[in-house]
Structure 1
């Protein structure tokens, strides 16, 4: 493929994925190797046609001594020759990795993206570009598959991820080298690329060449075709999970006008809806709930997903410990993911129920009967109760009916009544599903109040309530 054909392919690829818009500033990560040098020169050729501003960033990892200094000097030389603004950062990646117990490769990746994000802001760049190419993506798919991965990991390297773009994913390593050779552009070789210490290097230098020679020369293309199907399936299931949560889930978050009253975030969904989903959708639901409860996009392992799916509820497994300080709890009718701190508070509240044993009886209603004014004895219209009643502490989505037939979240009621946060988890509730008949010691729902049409009364009496109300 000629250099002009390479440029045309990259231009069309960038347009098809809408990687940039006219007026964008674009920061390119340049290591000095063939891939990133190709990226820099191609973007420089295309910048006027695309209507973008171009800047560059180089990270000296401090790992390869004189070789790393050589790479930095070369990047400075080509950026100076092309008139492209350049920012250079120096880091001791080995120390960073050791301090965090991660590999040097992972440490370098983390630092590179962090510095590029900061540098993009300094240069007023809306996008950042990395030099990942088609072979990198195929290697990533195999690496993730061998290590164990879901659909997201099998999707390969995506062309666009937030503000990060990868214009060279339409090119192979050989096509990149051919472009540079045709234009007489040198590059720096990283001596560690030939070492088969890292798993990725063994896939790149040994496995894929053997597969192309002995099985199919177009194996990387076929791997990426399968990866694209995995990406489409991943997007579909993720969207389906979000829709299920939007339609049937409950997000326990304070309204914006709640002031600075603290409240833990909890996400729940009816077990009836969760259980009838196929296993793959249940997995995506769990991941979506974790991301919401954690407050930002997060991922968890298949082991944690299966631990949540295996919960059977009261009488069996009820809790699973998750990363990010979260727990999954399965009750009789809801599966909830919430911060452990919140759940411990709820557990304390449930233990407090032992101090509130109740007695119930049914009475025929007669016109003119005087409704008890006792704070711990309440009457309810029994005929309006259609489901099973429970005595428990608060859960996500609990509500009361107030005058005018309007719903009021129990959380909002607690805030309006200025009930201290530390006390809310221990207030006993009489509830029908999420509808609270009575927050004991406080108020009952308008929906269940006695009217002239009442035929049967449910009398509920708290036997021990001296400390509440």
Structure 2
């Protein structure tokens, strides 16, 4: 930790307050730079404001830089269908990581303790999740460190009380309709009747399991992440890997890239896809889908972002999924082999242009082709991945397909010598530069 720049996740609870107190005490000795970040989930109204003000006050008293950020958990829940806990966790870690990278910090420190680990292990165990999830909370994963993981709640609060250090209690922590609170207040007390040291016993075993998993390094990898953030599983390699190692590799990838724990029933469905014919697909949790293609399985968001019909006016751009679609009027017609650009005769357009997903029964006349072609057949011709076929952007006018973005314009809208006005259409993925000429 020497000379590290550490972002401290500060909720105001006893765990995070002790974590900040500890890091502040060793700050000078190790030459640490600290930034405390409080994440407001937008769920608890005045209580959340109280917690933020408390955290700000604590940081001022310690001379630690403080930052508060707001996340929209409710919207994320509606978009993805995931639970409030999953949505809050996903957005919280994303916010912390965004700040870490923007500020060029080295680590994110969280206040997870040994009781949190016991709750996580038991929840994942009864939900039928695999070894990686049952191995508990890692002391470190990537830039995230958890220095408090060997301490229990009683030790933490006793230490703070003995030194007169205050903290705040989140009232929602007593709500046993939340599964983690149910485990904390209903289940673990019963386990302590069998073994008063239950949390430590669970921690010791989860550590051994994690250590065992981490020693396995000689198994060939069968997964990769493509430029669109999708998880690709090589079915040829996967077919030769034992279930345990295949589960481990896929589950780690899903956690790292989609914050999704892989349940055993979903893993068994993925295994069937490895042996299945191309064209089959399944729905996973968290808004993910998996489709079997030639020699691979593609796992990604069923709907990467909003893909509802969107008007495309000349001189404007629209966001559609992971793409930007641009439209402008131009004077010159430049013949190009760039399939991401299309020139159309504006005079042949009926009504307004709209970007939307194709419907399965739609057809169009591919430029320089031989008559009409069903859009489903065309998608097969150009080998568009199954996961993307019915979320891919297509430009329509009031009557017809005008351009299958990134592939082919409709022949009926092609520029001719009689054309008086030309629209230039262009598609770019997020992060690509757009030529506005």
Unaligned runs of 5+ in 1: 1-19, 255-261, 341-421, 426-469
Which residue of the partner structure matches residue 174 of structure 1? Answer: 154
Which residue of the partner structure matches residue 305 of structure 1? Answer: 267
2: CA distance, partners of 1:147 / 1:102: 15
Contact preservation (8 Å) 1:87, 1:119: no
Which residue of the partner structure matches residue 30 of structure 1? Answer: 10
> In the alignment, does 2:297 pair up with 1:337?
yes
Contact preservation (8 Å) 1:325, 1:339: yes
Contact preservation (8 Å) 1:33, 1:189: yes
2: CA distance, partners of 1:311 / 1:93: 33
- Normalised by the length of structure 1, the TM-score is 0.56
2: CA distance, partners of 1:195 / 1:203: 11
Q: Residues 357-404 of structure 1: CA distance to partner in whole angstroms, max 9, x if unpaired?
A: xxxxxxxxxxxxxxxxxxxxxxxxxxxxxxxxxxxxxxxxxxxxxxxx
Q: 1:270 to 1:98 in 2, by over 3 A?
A: closer
Q: 1:79 to 1:217 in 2, by over 3 A?
A: same
Alignment of 1:324-403 (within 5 A): 326-328=290-292, 336-338=296-298
Q: Residues 59-78 of structure 1: CA distance to partner in whole angstroms, max 9, x if unpaired?
A: 22232222222111111111
Q: 1:306 to 1:221 in 2, by over 3 A?
A: same
2: CA distance, partners of 1:319 / 1:27: 45
- Normalised by the length of structure 2, the TM-score is 0.59
> In the alignment, does 2:281 pair up with 1:321?
yes
Cα offset, 1:188, TM superposition:
0.7
Q: 1:233 to 1:92 in 2, by over 3 A?
A: same
Which residue of the partner structure matches residue 119 of structure 1? Answer: 99
Which residue of the partner structure matches residue 235 of structure 1? Answer: 214
Cα offset, 1:91, TM superposition:
3.7
Contact preservation (8 Å) 1:308, 1:320: no
Which residue of the partner structure matches residue 205 of structure 2? Answer: 226
Alignment of 1:53-452 (within 5 A): 53-212=33-192, 214-237=193-216, 239-241=217-219, 244-245=220-221, 268=234, 270=236, 274-275=239-240, 277-284=241-248, 300-310=262-272, 320-321=280-281, 326-328=290-292, 336-338=296-298
Q: 1:286 to 1:329 in 2, by over 3 A?
A: farther
2: CA distance, partners of 1:120 / 1:142: 31
1: CA distance, partners of 2:78 / 2:26: 41
Contact preservation (8 Å) 1:138, 1:224: yes
Cα offset, 1:170, TM superposition:
1.4
Q: Residues 63-101 of structure 1: CA distance to partner in whole angstroms, max 9, x if unpaired?
A: 222222211111111101111110112344334433432
2: CA distance, partners of 1:27 / 1:231: 25
Unaligned runs of 5+ in 2: 301-379, 384-437
Helix, strand or coil: the match of 1:105?
Answer: helix
Cα offset, 1:251, TM superposition:
8.3
Q: Residues 211-236 of structure 1: CA distance to partner in whole angstroms, max 9, x if unpaired?
A: 11x20111111111121122123334
Q: 1:59 to 1:280 in 2, by over 3 A?
A: closer
Helix, strand or coil: the match of 1:108?
Answer: helix
Point out the structure with max Rg over C-alpha. Answer: 1
Contact preservation (8 Å) 1:286, 1:308: no
Q: Residues 298-324 of structure 1: CA distance to partner in whole angstroms, max 9, x if unpaired?
A: 8644334323434695xx867652565
Which residue of the partner structure matches residue 318 of structure 2? Answer: none
2: CA distance, partners of 1:115 / 1:148: 29
Helix, strand or coil: the match of 2:180?
Answer: helix
Helix, strand or coil: the match of 2:26?
Answer: helix
2: CA distance, partners of 1:30 / 1:50: 21
1: CA distance, partners of 2:162 / 2:40: 28
1: CA distance, partners of 2:76 / 2:223: 40
1: CA distance, partners of 2:77 / 2:101: 25
What is the number of residues matched between the two proteins? 299
Contact preservation (8 Å) 1:56, 1:79: yes
